[in-house]
Amino acid sequence: MESLHVGIIGSILFVALIFLRVPIAYGLGIIGTAGLLYVYGPATVFRFIPLEVYSHTSNFTLSALPLFILMGYLAYYADLSKDSYDAARAWFGKVPGGLAVATVYACAIFGACSGSSLAECAVFSKISVPEMTSSGYNKRLSLGVVAAAGGLDTLIPPSVIMVVFGVMTETSIGQLLIAGIVPGILYACVFAIAIIIFCYLKPSYAPSTVNIDTSWRARMAAIKNIWAVVLLFGLVLGAIYAGWATPDEAAAVGVLGSCLLVVYRKKFTWRKLKDAAVDSAKASAMIFLLFGAASIFAAFLSVTGVISALTEWVMKMKFPFWGIILALMILYLLMGCFLDAISMMVLTMPVVAPIIQAQGASLVWFGVFISMMMVIGAITPPLGLNCYVMKAALGDQVDLNDIFAGAMPFLALMIIIAIIICLFPEISLWLPNMMTKK
């Protein structure tokens, strides 16, 4: 049997394993190993696989990933999420849908010191949802805002998804992180404007809250309270943008800064430190396991010629670039119904990245676009991990169907934002281009 046919059969079998609910990492490892055994035989494969996995998971750039995750957990224990919400509420509490708008901007602010949208959803489920529902806000609106705004963590640096994309495509992680800033601001502003317009037209969904102090004195005091977030953001992103530190070095500085803030704010306990370390290790282990298994499967696709054949076919068919992007949007919308962001990334990048490169498009811009599609997948039923995390955080207080129903209107806004990012690449590339000109 020809190698290409083996690669195609292996790909079909892998899809079958996904539908059988086999964990993604196990499916990748099983099919990749079996395929390589068929092509090369056991003597070569059992020497090749350990080296392949080690070379992909020992990449020093990957050290930024667990550090950014740990930084986010420590920032949570330092109460930076609550400070972010209090500041946003003081500024936007009196506009139509003020608490919902405040939640969006609080997620954006806290996103500057956390790299996980799941963690952000869990945190703001406990902070924002009770506040909004007790103020008479529509329950589905309250839940949907948190589920959708939690995705800001994926765009606003530091972003775990951006790090994963950078490692898989050998793209500058520093430029990717910087590239997410302006799209992240756009994301927050589009959401805020849409909420204000909707709540102005439907005031019953978000009654005016009179017990919020939005005086200039309160606003200035709130800004002073988020100095820690600004400091962390400046330390991490400022060092990367100025070229003073690599992403992994900046991540280490961010972890140190978060630790010092926990101690300074008298929030430190050994239990919190242990919980932050253990939770970060679990999340990182899951991602590294996916990386290792994906490297085996990618090697299988490469040696059997599937990747090169698919790339060559796309080029011969002369699909217009925007046709390819539209097809990718549909693909990721469908995959988001069944897979988490990291799994989608490790599954598709070995095939998709060469096609995009062959089209001459910027991988930095494409990384932002892909991250936006990952955000959409995080609230798409039936998987929608952000929604499940919220359900876990709130327990019997809410129904899962209400969370998904509340998130659906924001899904349309996310697609619009993804289209804007596609139509205007400068939104993503302006700041990275400024970096390269220095």
* DSSP track, 383-421: T-HHHHHHHHHHGGGS-HHHHHHHHHHHHHHHHHHHHHH
Question: Encoding tokens for residue 370?
Answer: 């892909």
Query: Residue 162: which of 351, 13, 19, 366 has the closest Cα?
Result: 366
Which sign, positive or negative, has the C-alpha torsion 222, 228, 231, 236?
negative
Comparing CA positions, the residue from 393, 311, 358, 387 lying closest to residue 130 is 393
Rounded Cα distance, 5 and 271, in Å: 54
Sign of CA dihedral 341, 343, 344, 350: positive
DSSP E strand boundaries for 127-269: none
DSSP label at residue 204: G
349: closest CA among 282, 305, 284, 291? 291
Where would I find the H helices in 42-116? 42-57, 64-77, 80-92, 98-110
| Predicted TM-score of the model (pTM) | 0.81
From 361, 357, 366, 382, select the one nearest 418 (Cα to Cα): 366
Per-residue pLDDT 10s for the chain (438 aa) are: 678 888 889 888 988 887 887 887 888 889 989 998 888 888 788 888 888 888 777 777 778 888 888 888 888 888 888 888 888 888 888 889 999 999 999 988 888 887 678 778 888 888 889 888 888 999 999 999 999 998 888 898 888 889 889 988 889 888 999 999 999 999 999 999 999 999 999 998 988 766 777 788 888 888 887 888 888 888 888 888 777 888 888 888 888 988 998 898 888 888 988 988 888 888 888 878 887 888 888 888 888 888 778 777 776 777 788 888 988 898 888 878 777 788 788 778 888 888 898 888 999 999 999 999 988 988 888 778 888 888 888 888 889 899 999 999 999 999 999 999 999 999 999 999 887 665
Pick from 76, 111, 149, 71: which is nearest to 390 by CA? 149
Q: How many CA atoms lie within 13 A of 230 on its CB side?
A: 7
